[in-house]
Amino acid sequence: MTLFSVTRKNIQGNFKNYLIYFLSMIFSVVIYYTFVSLQYSEEIQKSIQSWETMRSIFVQASIMLILFVTVFILYSNAFFTKKRKKEVGLYSLLGVRKKTIGKMLFYENLIMGAIAVLIGVLLGTLLSKLFTMMLLKLLSSTINVSFSISFEAVLNTLIVFSIIILFTSIQANRLIYRFKLIELFHAEQEGEQVAKASVGAAAGSIILIAFSYWIVFHPITEQQLVQLSLVLFGIVAGTYLLFRSLIVYLLRASQKNKSRYYRGMNLIGTTQLIYRFKGNARTLTMISLLSSVTLCAISVGYGGYYNIEKTARNWSPFSYSYISKNEVFDHQADQIILEDKEHPVQGKLDISVIQVNGDISDLEYVPYGYAAKSVPTRLIAVSTYNQIAKVLNREENLRLSGNEAAAIRPWQDNTFSDYVGHTITLKLSEENHSIKFVKMFEERVLGWVSPDIYVVVSDRLYTDIAKQVKPFVYQAYKVKNEKSTIETAKKLEKLLAKDTELSTFYTMYTKELESSGIDIFLLGFLGLVFLAATGSIIYFKQLNEAYSDQERYQILRKIGVSKREVLTTLSKQTLFVFLLPLVVGILHCTIILKAIFGVNLAEKTIMIPIFMVMAAYVIIYLGYYVLTVKSSNNIVNK
Partner 1 sequence: MKTIVEAKRMKKIYGGKGNVFTALDEIDLTVREGEFVGIMGPSGAGKSTLLNVLATIDTPTSGDVVIDGTSIINMKEEQLSAFRRDKLGFIFQDYNLLDTLTVKENILLPLALAKMNVAELERRVAIVADKFAIGSILEKYPYQISGGQKQRTAAARAIVAKPSLILADEPTGALDSKSATDLLESLKDLSEQDQATILTVTHDAFAASYCGRVLFIKDGKLFTELVKGKGTRKEFFNKVLDVLAALGGGASDVI
Residues recorded for the chain = 638
One-letter amino acid of 330: D
Asked if 258 interacts with partner 1 (CB under 8 A), we say yes
Options 76-84, 144-152, 255-263, 449-457: segment touching partner 1 (CB under 8 A): 255-263
Which string of x and - marks every residue 68-87 that binds partner 1 (by CB under 8 A)?
Answer: --------------------
Instruction: Report how far residue 255's alpha carbon sits from residue 342's, in angstroms, rounded to the nearest whole number.
Output: 74
Closest distance of CB 526 from partner 1, Å: 39
Q: Is 604 in the site for partner 1 (CB under 8 A)?
A: no
Residue 266 C-beta: closest distance to partner 1, Å: 8
Nearer to partner 1, 275 or 521 (CB): 275
Residues 190-219 that bind partner 1 (CB under 8 A): 192, 194
CB of 258 vs partner 1, minimal distance in Å: 5
Q: Dihedral sign for Cα 597, 600, 605, 606, please.
A: positive
**558 is a site residue for partner 1 (CB under 8 A):** yes
Is 189 exposed, middle or buried (CB count within 10 Å of its CB: 0-12, 13-18, 19+)? exposed
C-alpha–C-alpha distance, residues 609 and 132, integer Å: 23
Least distance from C-beta 244 to partner 1, angstroms? 18
Backbone angles phi, psi at 361, to 5 degrees: -65, -15
Show the CA angle centred on residue 570, arms to residues 265 and 238, nearest 5°. Answer: 100
| Contact region with partner 1 (CB under 8 A), list: 271-279, 304-312, 385-393, 492-500 | 271-279
Q: Which residues touch 269 (CB under 8 Å, ≥6 apart)? A: 569, 572, 573
**Cis check: omega of the bond before 451, within 30 degrees of 0:** yes
Say whether residue 271 binds partner 1 (CB under 8 A): yes
- Residues 341, 345, 350, 353, CA torsion sign: negative
Closer residue to partner 1 (CB): 316 or 573: 573
16 vs 260, beta carbon nearer partner 1: 260
- 224 contributes a contact to partner 1 by CB under 8 A: no
According to the 3-state scheme, what is the secondary structure of 120-176? HHHHHHHHHHHHHHHHHHHCCCCCCCCCCCCHHHHHHHHHHHHHHHHHHHHHHHHHH
Point out which span in 163-171, 266-274, 354-362, 431-439 binds partner 1 (CB under 8 A): 266-274
For residue 270, the minimal CB distance to partner 1 (Å) is 10
Per-residue interface string for the shown chain with partner 1, residues 450-479, x marking contact by CB under 8 A: ------------------------------
Exactly one of 94, 182, 328, 559 binds partner 1 (CB under 8 A); which one? 559
Which listed residue (427, 511, 557, 594) binds partner 1 by CB under 8 A? Answer: 557
In DSSP terms, 477 is beta-bridged to 320, 348
Question: 105-138 in b/e burial notation, b at 16+ Cβ within 10 A?
Answer: bbbbbbebbeebbebbbebbbebbbebbeebbeb
Q: Which of 467, 494, 564, 604 binds partner 1 (CB under 8 A)?
A: 564
Say whether residue 55 binds partner 1 (CB under 8 A): no
Nearer to partner 1, 373 or 552 (CB): 552
Residue among 560, 602, 604, 619 that touches partner 1 (CB under 8 A): 560
Please tell me whether residue 268 binds partner 1 under the rule CB under 8 A: yes
- Choose, by CB under 8 A, the member of 1, 225, 328, 555 that binds partner 1: 555
Question: Which parts of 93-152 interact with partner 1 (CB under 8 A)?
Answer: none
Supply the minimum distance, in Å, between the C-beta of residue 274 and partner 1.
Answer: 8
187/94 Cα distance (integer angstroms): 18
Please choose, out of 157-165, 442-450, 470-478, 552-560, the segment that lies near partner 1 by the rule CB under 8 A. Answer: 552-560
Q: How far apart are CA 14 and CA 566, in angstroms?
A: 26
Q: Which is nearer to partner 1, 361 or 550 (CB)?
A: 550
Contact region for partner 1 (CB under 8 A) — 63-71, 261-269, 447-455, 602-610?
A: 261-269
Nearer to partner 1 (CB atom), residue 167 or residue 576: 576
Tell me if 270 sits within 8 A of 255, measured CB to CB. Answer: yes
Query: For residues 202 and 273, which CB has a smaller minimum distance to partner 1 in the complex?
Result: 273
Rounded distance between C-alpha atoms, residue 435 and residue 426, angstroms:
8
Candidate residues 308, 556, 582, 595; the one interacting with partner 1 per rule CB under 8 A: 556
Cα 427 to Cα 432: distance, rounded to the nearest angstrom: 5
For partner 1, which stretch binds (CB under 8 A), given 229-237, 267-275, 419-427, 489-497?
267-275
Query: Which of 9, 174, 480, 563 touches partner 1 by CB under 8 A?
Result: 563
Instruction: Tell me the C-alpha distance between 145 and 127, whole Å.
Output: 12
Contact segment (CB under 8 A) with partner 1 among 441-449, 506-514, 554-562, 626-634 equals: 554-562
Answer yes or no whether residue 550 interacts with partner 1 by CB under 8 A.
Answer: no
- Provide the pairing of β-strand 375-381 with 453-457: parallel
Contact 453, 367 (CB under 8 A): yes
**CA torsion 213→216→221→222, rounded to 10°?**
170
**Crossing angle of the two packed helices 382-391 and 459-468, in degrees rounded to 10:** 110
- Degrees to nearest 5, angle at CA 466 with 463 and 471: 125
What DSSP string runs through 194-205?
PP---HHHHHHH
- Binding-site residue total for partner 1 (CB under 8 A)? 27
Q: How far is the CB of 312 from partner 1 (least distance, A)?
A: 59
Closest CA to 253 of 203, 210, 207, 204: 203
- For the segment 416-445, give every residue that binds partner 1 (CB under 8 A): none
Q: In the bound complex, what is the minimum distance in angstroms from residue 263's beta carbon to partner 1?
A: 6
Binding to partner 1 (CB under 8 A) within 273-332 occurs at 274-275
Is 39 in contact with 503 (CB distance < 8 Å)?
no
Region at 193 (left for phi over 0; alpha for psi -120 to 50; beta for the rest): beta
Which residue in 123, 230, 265, 338 binds partner 1 (CB under 8 A)?
A: 265
Choice from 13, 264, 402, 623 touching partner 1 (CB under 8 A): 264
Q: How far apart, in whole angstroms, are the C-alpha atoms of residue 28 and residue 22? A: 10
Question: CB of 281: closest distance to partner 1 in angstroms?
Answer: 17
Min CB(252)–partner 1 separation in Å: 13
Q: Which residues of this chain interact with partner 1, rule CB under 8 A?
A: 192, 194, 258-259, 262-268, 271-272, 274-275, 552, 555-565
